[in-house]
Structure 1
Amino acid sequence: MPKINGNEIRPGNVLDHNGGLWVAVKVDHVKPGKGGAFAQVEMRNLRNGSKLNERFRSADKVERVRLEQKDQQFLYESDGMLVFMDNETFEQIELPVEILGERRPFLQDGMTIQVEYYDAEALSATLPQKVQCKVVETEPVVKGQTAANSFKPAILDNGIKVMVPPFIAQDEDIIVDTGSMEYSERA
């Protein structure tokens, strides 16, 4: 694995630190009046989700890990496990539902997601940036209210509540940003 200096750590980097795999969430470069500069790094453990704040001086060496990313197609769910198929080898793998966290309702049949592997261990899964959903319940459209910069609550076909513009009606398809879990645009 390549070693990098403490001042080369960037958000999103995966580091092998203290026997665990950590992803850098936030990096602040600090140059105090006295002493040497350092990077204050907020990290999250990829295996158990715990957080850690660590200070790295520019002379400190840390191992940067490269994760292998594979596209997997969602097939079905059974007993709290999600079954995916590798698009190249057609092998099927099972991953726990918790790997998607709160974004699990946006997973749809046949959807292709990106799974990150370290050796043969699946560490994280990423949904597509935008997903199409149907509005199943919202307030009726009120004429003349489209000029105001206001939003109204809506419930989607997957049970998630989002705020939508006033011109969105019931049974309409919308695009939702899975990163922020907010309305993006009309479908």
Structure 2
Amino acid sequence: MPKINGNEIRPGNVLEHDGGLWAAVKVDHVKPGKGGAFAQVELKNLRDGRKLNERFRSADKVERVRLEQKDMQFLYEDAGQLIFMDTDTYDQVQLEADILGERRPFLQDGMTILVEFYDAEALNATLPQKVTCKIVETEPVVKGQTAANSFKPAILDNGVRVMVPPFVGTDEEIIVNTETMEYAERA
């Protein structure tokens, strides 16, 4: 595994630190008036979800880990576990349901998800960037309400509340960006 300097850490990097696997969530490069510059890094443990704030000077060496990525199909949820299947080998993998956090409602049956592995251990899952959802409830269209940035609340078929443009109505399908959890376009 390659070693990188402390000032080369970027958000999303996976590091081996203190005997565990940590993902860099937020990185701030600080140059105080006195002393050397350093990177203030917020780390999240990939196995148990603990968070840690750590300082890395440019002279510090950290082990950067490359995770193997596989596309897997979501099958079902059972007792707080999400079950995924490799479509090539039909192997099944379990991950905690809370690994997706607030994006969990966007997971749909049969959806293809990117699962990251370290050796044979599944550590993380990433939803597709855009997901198609149906609007079940929103306010009716009001004529003349065409201001540049006017949005109205809408409730999707998965229970998530998003803001949509005024021309979008009930029973329409829209595409939602899962990273920002915002309306992207009509389906």
TM-score range, shorter chain: over 0.9
C-alpha distance in 1 between matches for 2:67 and 2:184:
30
C-alpha distance in 2 between matches for 1:167 and 1:74:
33
Q: CA deviation at 1:148?
A: 4.3
Residue 6 of structure 1 pairs with residue 3 of structure 2? no
C-alpha distance in 2 between matches for 1:110 and 1:72:
9
Q: CA deviation at 1:82?
A: 2.0
RMSD, matched Cα: 1.4
2:21 corresponding residue in structure 1 = 21
C-alpha distance in 2 between matches for 1:104 and 1:89:
25
2:133 corresponding residue in structure 1 = 133
Q: Which runs of 5+ in 2 are unaligned?
A: none
- One-letter code aligned to 2:171: D
The runs of at least 4 aligned residues of structure 1 exceeding 6 Å deviation read none
Instruction: Please list the CA deviations of residues 35-80 of structure 1 after superposition, one character each: whole Å capped at 9, or x if unmatched.
Output: 2222221212212222221111111111111111111011222333
C-alpha distance in 2 between matches for 1:27 and 1:96:
26
- One-letter code aligned to 1:146: T
User: Which secondary structure does the structure 2 equivalent of 1:16 belong to?
Assistant: strand
1:75 corresponding residue in structure 2 = 75
1:47 corresponding residue in structure 2 = 47
C-alpha distance in 2 between matches for 1:145 and 1:96:
44
Contact 2:93 2:122 in 1 (8 A): no
Flag the 1:78–1:13 CA change in 2: closer, same or farther, 3 A. same
User: Which secondary structure does the structure 2 equivalent of 1:158 belong to?
Assistant: coil
1:93 corresponding residue in structure 2 = 93
Instruction: Please list the CA deviations of residues 161-183 of structure 1 after superposition, one character each: whole Å capped at 9, or x if unmatched.
Output: 11111111000000001011111
C-alpha distance in 1 between matches for 2:168 and 2:79:
36
Instruction: Please list the CA deviations of residues 137-180 of structure 1 after superposition, one character each: whole Å capped at 9, or x if unmatched.
Output: 01111112123421111110111111111111000000001011
In percent, how many aligned pairs have the same letter?
81
C-alpha distance in 1 between matches for 2:53 and 2:84:
34
Q: Which moved more, 1:29-38 or 1:108-117?
A: 29-38
1:103 corresponding residue in structure 2 = 103
Kindly report which structure 2 residues correspond to 1:162-173, keeping only aligned pairs within 5 A, or say none. 162-173=162-173
1:32 corresponding residue in structure 2 = 32
- One-letter code aligned to 1:47: R
- Number of equivalenced pairs: 187
TM-score normalized with structure 2 length:
0.93
1:113 corresponding residue in structure 2 = 113
Instruction: Please list the CA deviations of residues 108-151 of structure 1 after superposition, one character each: whole Å capped at 9, or x if unmatched.
Output: 12110001111222111100000000000011111121234211
2:145 corresponding residue in structure 1 = 145
1:123 corresponding residue in structure 2 = 123
